């Protein structure tokens, strides 16, 4: 049964890509180009409607989430507030934080300030946070409430379990309760792979809306991504640019640099666009306003099939962090 499902998903996904390829071919000759072609992986039972036309994906919870955002790992204090506000000013509407990053207060402050200055409305911004294994998952209700208090922006758009843990089912069920009382809109998981998902999903009531895992050209998870997407769960990639300490090597990769030159964009934009065309949501981290802006400019070019294949061939199964 799983094999049939996997085959059907692959077939529908390839059809989607073929349609995307056709769009691309038309675009090469059409001067009235719509650079936001619809790449839709709609499936009858499992809806993952990943669209370029409005830069959002519809989650299985019914909420729409932007497909490019800002990661805030290692951003603190004023740098964090400035970076989040810079992102919001540049049109970014998805912000990723976590209890473990120690910056939920700054993220919340930046959002409240941006609302006060008329840059965004609360409902325009999609905020993801996470609770951590150990004491946080052992006492999930208070940990979740602490995240809400630190962010102080009313509700949270999405909460994830940061890693699996002996208390992860208990912690997830606590998040389910917060969904019921309207304080959290969608819930999901981070650093969950095929085995862990297979074990976890039958034990919870609300199917995760999203799984956030390490994904970049040197660690592509080509087996894991379709496994998750075929369940109607959106995949989001962390370390999209390889992560701190690794990004230079990745950004200077000959293949990526050649493709970037051909499109007159940066290597970072090529990698982010490659993710988007695989149906993977991106949350690059940066405190540099120029990079933050550049990382939003992903919709005026399209990687063709050959370019996607060349980047796919860079996979080294090289994880840049332990989880």
Give the residue numbers marked as catalytic: 101
> Residue 271 CB: number of other CB atoms within 10 A?
29
For ligand NAD, give the closer residue by CB, 148 or 160. Answer: 160
Least CB distance to ligand NAD at residue 2 (A): 27
> Quick one: 16 or 240, whose CB is closer to ligand NAD?
240
- Distance from C-alpha of 235 to C-alpha of 189, rounded to nearest angstrom: 10
Q: Minimum CB separation from ligand NAD for residue 284, in Å?
A: 4
Pairing between β-strand 126-131 and β-strand 156-161 as defined by DSSP bridges: parallel
* 56/269 with CB nearer ligand NAD: 269
Give the integer Cα–Cα distance in Å for 274 and 256.
Answer: 10
Q: Which residue is nearest to ligand NAD (CB)?
A: 285
Among 58, 212, 296, 304, binds ligand NAD (CB under 6 A): 212
Q: Which is nearer to ligand NAD, 131 or 174 (CB)?
A: 131
DSSP 8-state code for residue 27 = H
Q: For residue 71, state whether it binds ligand NAD (rule: CB under 6 A).
A: yes
Q: How far apart are CA 250 and CA 297, in angstroms?
A: 19
Alpha helices in 42-103 (DSSP H): 77-89
Task: Please say which residue, 229 or 295, places its beta carbon nearer to ligand NAD.
Answer: 295
* Stretch binding ligand NAD (CB under 6 A), from 110-118, 141-149, 176-184, 235-243: 235-243
| CA 9 – CA 42 distance, rounded (Å) | 10
Using rule CB under 6 A, residue 72 touches ligand NAD: yes
Site stretch for ligand NAD (CB under 6 A), options 28-36, 60-68, 200-208, 241-249: 241-249
According to CB under 6 A, which residues from 85 to 114 bind ligand NAD? 96
Q: Which residues of 127-144 are buried (b: 16+ CB within 10 A; e: fewer)?
A: bbbbbbbeebbebbeebb
- Binding range to ligand NAD, per CB under 6 A, among 32-40, 54-62, 178-186, 290-298: 290-298
Decide: helix, strand or coil at residue 317.
Answer: coil
Cα→Cα distances 206→137, 144, 173, 202, Å:
18, 17, 9, 10
Question: Considering the complex, what minimum distance in angstroms separates the CB of residue 216 from ligand NAD?
Answer: 7
Count of beta carbons in the 10 Å neighbourhood of residue 176: 14
Interface ranges with ligand NAD (CB under 6 A): 71-73, 96, 162, 190-191, 212, 238-244, 247, 251, 266, 268, 283-286, 291, 294-295, 323
């Amino acid at each position: 049964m799983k094999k049939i499902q996997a085959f059907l998903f692959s077939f529908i996904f390839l059809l989607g890509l073929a349609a995307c390829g056709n769009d691309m071919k038309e675009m090469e000759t059409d001067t009235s180009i719509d650079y936001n072609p619809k790449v839709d992986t709609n499936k009858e039972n499992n809806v993952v409607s990943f669209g370029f036309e409005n830069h959002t994906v519809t989650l299985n919870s019914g909420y729409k989430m932007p497909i490019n955002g800002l990661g805030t790992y290692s951003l603190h204090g004023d740098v964090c507030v400035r970076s989040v506000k810079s992102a919001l000013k540049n049109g970014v509407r998805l912000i990723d934080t976590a209890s473990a990053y120690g910056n939920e207060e700054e993220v919340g402050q930046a959002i409240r300030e941006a609302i006060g200055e008329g840059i965004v409305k609360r409902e325009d911004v999609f905020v993801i946070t996470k609770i951590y294994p150990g004491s946080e998952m052992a006492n999930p209700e208070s940990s979740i409430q602490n995240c809400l208090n630190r962010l102080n922006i009313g509700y949270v758009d999405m909460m994830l379990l940061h890693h699996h843990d002996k208390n992860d089912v208990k912690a997830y069920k606590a998040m389910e309760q917060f969904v019921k009382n309207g304080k959290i809109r969608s819930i999901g998981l981070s650093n969950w792979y095929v085995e862990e998902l297979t074990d976890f999903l039958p034990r919870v009531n609300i199917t995760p809306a999203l799984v956030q895992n390490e994904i970049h050209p040197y660690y592509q998870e080509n087996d894991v991504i379709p496994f998750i997407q075929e369940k109607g769960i959106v995949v989001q990639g962390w370390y999209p640019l390889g992560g701190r300490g690794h990004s230079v090597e990745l950004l200077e990769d000959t293949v990526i640099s050649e493709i970037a030159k051909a499109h007159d964009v940066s290597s970072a934009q090529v990698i982010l666009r490659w993710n988007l065309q695989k149906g993977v949501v991106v949350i690059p981290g940066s405190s540099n306003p120029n990079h933050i802006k550049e990382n939003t400019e992903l919709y005026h070019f399209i990687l063709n099939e050959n370019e996607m294949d060349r980047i796919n061939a860079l996979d080294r199964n090289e994880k840049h962090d332990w989880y």
